[in-house]
């Protein structure tokens, strides 16, 4: 999706409960992940793996999605605590191309930025006349969104909470619908009647058949318990 206003959409594109319909916004290839072997040591290669939205390659950037912005801080913070401050130096997390950040020391450090490239390892600031690391030339144009107006905290407009859920329900085959209703009824039958009714109302708004089937399922399971 182009990074500008999209008044033509009936939902907020930064609302993470929505999908961007792929027929309107086809997926773009950004890379390739090859899964060709199993971990040899589960701890080293799985437990210590750290994925996060705060670690990006050049050419990718963050959107203004609030959830994404929260994750971008929180994953790296969690990983510095969970794995260790130098978690990015572990083979499982380390980029294949050396990355220099001028960040140094802390537990389990074994690598000093820029040494491979022959830079002065004693200088961890920039600029410097002593041959330290230099900022690499930018590989692309900076993202410079235009913003005007007050920045406020408020609920998004265009919440459109039911349309996509209804559309998804209608794409389901019969057996998928059966599974969905069974799952929902199994979970909801444990709830108080007023909670069940509220949930049914939500499903009703997505699609009347969807709501009716959950309501019927709950009724039948209640009758079974009575007998
Ligand atoms: C679109 C919404 C989100 C998705 C798809 C998502 C997905 C995930 C996944 C798949 C994991 C890994 C779970 C695992 O290792 O078993 C994870 C972990 C985590 N998530 Fe989220 N998450 C979302 C939102 C958030 C938000 C809003 C926050 C906090 C502001 C958050 C904080 C975390 C943290 C701290 C971890 C553990 C990271 C680590 O120690 O490696 N997530 N999330």
Q: Report whether residue 57 contacts ligand 1, using a CB cutoff of 6 Å.
A: no
Crossing angle, helix 174-188 and helix 193-206, to 10 degrees? Answer: 160
How far is ligand 1, taken at its centre, from the CA of residue 75, in Å?
A: 7
CA 79 to ligand 1: nearest atom:
40
The answer to whether 162 touches 16, Cβ cutoff 8 Å, is no
Q: Report whether residue 74 contacts ligand 1, using a CB cutoff of 6 Å.
A: yes
* Residue among 20, 124, 101, 13 nearest 54 (CA): 101
If pLDDT is split at 50, 70 and 90, which confidence band does 225 have?
confident
Probe target for ligand 1 pocket from 72, 75, 81, with the most ligand atoms within 8 Å of CB = 75
As a whole number of angstroms, the distance between CA 68 and CA 100 comes to 25
Mean pLDDT, rounded, of the chain: 91
If pLDDT is split at 50, 70 and 90, which confidence band does 217 have?
very high
Domains of the chain: which residue ranges? Answer: 1-130, 163-226
Q: Report whether residue 50 contacts ligand 1, using a CB cutoff of 6 Å.
A: yes
Probe target for ligand 1 pocket from 71, 84, 88, with the most ligand atoms within 8 Å of CB = 71
Nearest CA to ligand 1 atom 25: 71
Distances (CA, A) of 201 to 35, 194, 209, 215: 43, 11, 12, 9
Nearest CA to ligand 1 atom 18: 75
pLDDT tens-place string over residues 28-60: 998 898 999 999 999 999 999 999 999 988 778
Q: Which helix (H) or strand (E) holds 163?
A: helix 163-171
Return the CA Rg of the chain. Answer: 25
pLDDT tens-place string over residues 102-149: 888 899 998 887 777 788 888 888 899 998 888 888 878 887 878 899
Instruction: Kindly report the pTM of this predicted structure.
Output: 0.80
Q: Report whether residue 67 contacts ligand 1, using a CB cutoff of 6 Å.
A: yes
Q: For residue 90, is pLDDT > 90?
A: yes
pLDDT tens-place string over residues 61-85: 888 888 999 999 999 999 999 999 9
Which percentage of the chain shows pLDDT scores above 90? 63
| CATH number for region 1-130 | 2.40.180.10
How far is ligand 1, taken at its centre, from the CA of residue 71, in Å?
A: 7
Cβ burial, residue 55 (10 Å; 0-12/13-18/19+): middle
């Amino acid at each position: 999706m182009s990074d500008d206003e999209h008044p033509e959409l009936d939902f907020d594109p930064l609302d993470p409960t929505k999908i961007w319909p792929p027929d309107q916004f086809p997926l773009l290839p950004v890379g390739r992940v090859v899964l060709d072997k199993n971990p040899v040591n589960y701890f080293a290669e799985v437990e210590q793996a750290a994925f996060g939205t705060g670690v990006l390659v050049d050419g990718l950037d963050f959107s203004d999605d609030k959830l994404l912005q929260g994750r971008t801080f929180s994953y790296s913070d969690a990983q510095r605590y969970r794995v260790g401050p130098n978690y990015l130096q572990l083979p499982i997390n380390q980029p294949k191309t050396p990355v220099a950040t001028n960040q140094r020391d802390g537990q389990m450090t074994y690598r000093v930025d820029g040494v491979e490239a022959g830079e002065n390892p004693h200088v961890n600031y920039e600029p410097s006349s002593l041959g330290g690391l230099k900022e690499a030339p930018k590989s692309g144009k900076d993202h410079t969104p235009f913003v005007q107006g007050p920045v406020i905290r408020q609920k998004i407009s265009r919440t459109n909470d039911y349309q996509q859920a209804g559309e998804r329900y209608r794409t389901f085959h019969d057996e998928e619908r059966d599974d969905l209703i069974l799952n929902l009824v199994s979970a909801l039958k444990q709830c108080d009647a007023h909670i069940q009714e509220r949930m049914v109302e939500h499903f009703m708004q997505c699609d009347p058949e969807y709501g009716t089937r959950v309501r019927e399922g709950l009724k039948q399971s209640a009758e079974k318990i009575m007998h």
